[in-house]
């Protein structure tokens, strides 16, 4: 994927971590969130329970800027959950930072969530009609309200009752005065793994968070599973009838950190094989393979290995781009200017260049980068996407343009090639993507949620069926 403006990139809600029975729970959660920072950079929050009281901090900004100092005295307790939020358009409200919290009859209950519910708007209306007062505009709060209103006695029953009411893709971590709770949606769209550190337990979105804190990977939470972690250990419950899992392909394509392991597979090696496969499906007669950094690097290495064409860093990425930077539009754009990407002329000049990116969404940034490479003297520019064409939006927590804005949704390959202004353009095939993961695609029963590439959505889309969905009358309140 190629981007410059922050809004030209798929982003996921969010990274989550939970720790139970460790004397430095908040510190472990903070380090885990730091390892998951790529899943959300806008805001972060941690809630702990110290045996008597719940403690909470929520901040705008990065984990490393928010949770320094003597964390275990600011957020004491041996149980904690935390959350990273991705950057949304518009001014974010403090009240929309997770974890969120409710005071129930016998315990407090904190909740953090990655994903998106597809019937949150409908449920919210129903709950408001029953007298519920919402603190935030987050769909996560629907789950909190359902848990609070459940007539069931046991917390696991309350949670399962709530999950049975919601539709969508999600992973949750919850915290009470006695338990750490984890859950994944019925098909396992959003990830959640279980680890162990000393006598303590860890839940996290990706294995890289376990690695960061030195925890041992135990297993993935299964689709539709609810785990209740308490002093009695880990108990597993099923909120739904069993069905095959169908995780989201974008974890392999873009979201997961390359050093994470998903379903037993190294994400880095999957991406490298995507490069191999891409080179087989869409070869090119070029002088140099150049990744669009950083996300295109593993596939570009794979392409180079398969094709034998040298891999070089023809584009340099700056990691210092702030949020409120000068709009380059001010400069009149007489040249293609990017704050994130700079051409490495010595690699590009006079060469036939093949660019490898992880995906192409709107295509605007790709177009700019192509032009930048041409301006730097490339003789030819070819472009390869390590993901198949994205033709449908996601509704499970990936922040993506509408169908009308997706380049591949509205253009033929040749139209795209013209728009992007490249000599050749190629995408990995859906079958090829499955093959890179090591799975033979079964069209009758897809092993993965591939709706962005195929249109096959794994859940009902309640809110999306209703035009007025998502409108919120009082959004400006409480900022």
Show which residues are catalytic: 14
Q: x/- contact string, 274-313, with a second copy (CB under 8 A)?
A: -----------------------xx--x---x----xxxx
Our CB check for a second copy shows the closer of 54 and 303 to be: 54
Query: Is the C-alpha dihedral spanning 253, 255, 259, 265 positive or negative?
Result: negative
Is 431 annotated as ligand-binding?
A: no
Alpha-carbon span 346 to 348, nearest angstrom = 6
**Strands lying side by side in the sheet with 193-197:** 54-60, 43-49, 79-85, 15-20, 200-204, 193-197, 216-220
Is 185 annotated as ligand-binding?
A: no
- Residue 384 CB, shortest distance to a second copy, in Å, is 19
Our CB check for a second copy shows the closer of 103 and 232 to be: 103
How many residues of this chain interact with a second copy, rule: CB under 8 A? 100
Our CB check for a second copy shows the closer of 38 and 179 to be: 38
The stretch near a second copy (CB under 8 A) out of 4-12, 222-230, 326-334, 428-436 is 326-334
Asked whether 360 and 8 are in contact (CB, 8 A), the reply is: no
- Residue 259 CB, shortest distance to a second copy, in Å, is 4
Our CB check for a second copy shows the closer of 52 and 232 to be: 52
329 near a second copy (CB under 8 A): no
Our CB check for a second copy shows the closer of 55 and 417 to be: 55
335 near a second copy (CB under 8 A): yes
Alpha-carbon span 300 to 293, nearest angstrom = 10
Asked whether 218 and 194 are in contact (CB, 8 A), the reply is: yes
- Residue 459 CB, shortest distance to a second copy, in Å, is 26
Out of 5, 6, 87, 148, which residue is the one contacting a second copy (CB under 8 A)?
A: 148
What residues between 248 and 267 interact with a second copy by CB under 8 A? 257-259, 261, 266
What residues between 36 and 55 interact with a second copy by CB under 8 A? 37-38, 41, 47, 52-55
- Residue 383 CB, shortest distance to a second copy, in Å, is 20
321 near a second copy (CB under 8 A): yes
What residues between 84 and 113 interact with a second copy by CB under 8 A? 94, 101-105, 108
Out of 316, 350, 403, 460, which residue is the one contacting a second copy (CB under 8 A)?
A: 316
Alpha-carbon span 10 to 3, nearest angstrom = 10
Out of 89, 91, 133, 445, which residue is the one contacting a second copy (CB under 8 A)?
A: 133
- Residue 35 CB, shortest distance to a second copy, in Å, is 7
154 near a second copy (CB under 8 A): no
What residues between 12 and 31 interact with a second copy by CB under 8 A? 24, 27-28, 30-31
Our CB check for a second copy shows the closer of 274 and 416 to be: 274
405 near a second copy (CB under 8 A): no
- Residue 368 CB, shortest distance to a second copy, in Å, is 13
Task: Please state, in angstroms and as integers, the Cα–Cα distance from residue 109 to each residue in 124, 147, 177, 394, 442, following that order.
Answer: 19, 9, 8, 29, 41
Beta carbons within 10 angstroms of residue 313's beta carbon: 13
- Residue 274 CB, shortest distance to a second copy, in Å, is 14
Out of 331, 410, 418, 442, which residue is the one contacting a second copy (CB under 8 A)?
A: 331
Is 295 annotated as ligand-binding?
A: yes
Annotated binding-site residues for Mg(2+) read 295, 357-358
């Amino acid at each position: 994927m190629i981007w410059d403006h922050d809004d030209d990139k798929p982003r996921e809600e969010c990274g989550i971590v939970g720790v139970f029975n460790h004397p430095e729970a908040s510190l472990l959660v903070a380090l885990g969130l730091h390892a998951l920072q790529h899943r959300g950079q806008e805001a972060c929050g941690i809630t702990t329970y110290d045996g008597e009281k719940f403690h909470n901090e929520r901040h705008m900004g990065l984990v490393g800027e928010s949770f320094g100092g003597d964390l275990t005295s600011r957020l004491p307790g041996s149980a904690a959950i935390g959350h990273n939020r991705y950057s949304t358009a518009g001014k974010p409200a403090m009240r929309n930072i997770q974890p969120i919290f409710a005071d129930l009859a016998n315990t407090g209950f904190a909740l953090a969530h990655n994903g998106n519910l597809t019937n949150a708007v409908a449920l919210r209306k129903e709950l408001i009609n029953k007298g519920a007062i919402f603190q935030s505009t987050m769909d996560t709060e629907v789950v909190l309200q359902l848990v609070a209103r459940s007539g069931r006695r046991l917390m696991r029953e309350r949670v399962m009752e709530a999950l049975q009411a919601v539709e969508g893709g999600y992973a949750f971590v919850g915290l009470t005065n006695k338990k750490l709770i984890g859950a994944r949606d019925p098909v396992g769209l959003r990830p959640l793994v279980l680890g162990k550190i000393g006598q303590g337990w860890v839940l996290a979105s990706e294995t890289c968070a376990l690695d960061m804190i030195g925890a041992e990977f135990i297993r993935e939470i299964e689709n539709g599973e609810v785990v209740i972690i308490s002093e009695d250990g880990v108990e597993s419950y099923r909120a739904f009838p069993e069905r095959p899992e169908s995780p989201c392909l974008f974890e392999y394509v873009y979201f997961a950190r390359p050093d994470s392991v998903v379903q037993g597979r190294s994400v880095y090696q999957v991406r490298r094989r995507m490069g191999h496969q891409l080179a087989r499906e869409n070869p090119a007669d070029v002088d140099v393979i150049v990744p669009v950094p950083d996300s295109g690097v593993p596939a570009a290495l794979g392409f180079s290995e398969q094709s034998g064409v040298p891999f070089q860093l023809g584009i340099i990425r700056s990691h210092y781009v702030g949020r409120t930077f000068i709009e380059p539009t001010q400069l009149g754009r007489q040249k293609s200017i990017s704050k994130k990407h700079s051409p490495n002329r010595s690699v590009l000049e006079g060469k036939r260049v093949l660019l490898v990116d992880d995906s192409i969404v709107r295509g605007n940034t790709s177009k700019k980068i192509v032009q930048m490479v041409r301006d730097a003297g490339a003789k030819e520019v070819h472009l390869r996407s390590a993901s198949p064409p994205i033709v449908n939006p996601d509704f499970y927590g990936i922040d993506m343009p509408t169908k009308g804005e997706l380049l591949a949704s509205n253009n033929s390959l040749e139209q795209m090639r013209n728009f992007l202004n490249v000599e050749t353009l190629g995408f990995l095939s859906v079958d090829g993507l499955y093959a890179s993961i090591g799975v033979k695609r079964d069209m009758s029963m897809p092993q993965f949620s591939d709706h962005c590439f195929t249109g096959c959505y794994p859940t009902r889309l309640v809110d999306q069926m209703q035009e007025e969905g998502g409108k919120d009358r009082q959004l400006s309140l409480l900022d």
